[in-house]
Amino acid sequence: MLQLKYQPYYDRLVQDAPFLASNGRLNEQLVDKIILQLNRVYPQILSNKEAEKFRNPNARLKTRFSDLLKHLLKKGDKDCQEFYRALQNHADWLYLLLPSRSNMKTSDSTTKCTDQVTIQEKYILNERGPVFFLACFSVAAGLAFLMYCCNAEVKPATGVKKIVGFSAIGFGRHVKNVLISYMEDTSKS
């Protein structure tokens, strides 16, 4: 189980600022996305004028970003928290690598957690992919359709019989036998 110690966002930003400002961590687009989110979603954090200042393409990216961090540190803990939320929304991979996050994790003999394990746990539900989901959904929809057609109280339309009969063409031998036998049973009644 992962246990986190509470650390104010202000202190976390002070700790993470050198890591974030180092070369190669952030690019122009990512910084712009963070600034735009802070400006549009939370205009009390960054006014339009401040956002334009931090997005000025004539200034160096490292300078603009360090000025943004200084501005957020002056504003307080709540604004620093919104910065972390914007960073997590736009660069989750970078958010997971922050030094303050690795310091917050407790590690004892039973619960050792690394960033790689955390990333793997995040995507554990997606290991089978979209084709598996579509296959399962198709089977469930097909079974629901067959249950609807097999209900003795509801008489299926003749068009439904034709559809079920023709749908057997693309399936394997066992499924084909079930669908054809269903079509023969409904045609007898």
Structural tokens at position 156: 């299926």
pLDDT of residue 167: 54
- Name the pTM for this structure: 0.52
Structural tokens at position 19: 């890591």
Give me the helices (H) in the chain, please: 9-21, 28-40, 48-54, 61-75, 77-90, 92-96, 99-104, 115-122, 129-150, 158-167, 173-188
Average pLDDT per block of 10 residues along the chain, 189 residues long: 63 86 80 89 87 87 88 88 89 86 54 51 60 84 81 58 54 63 60
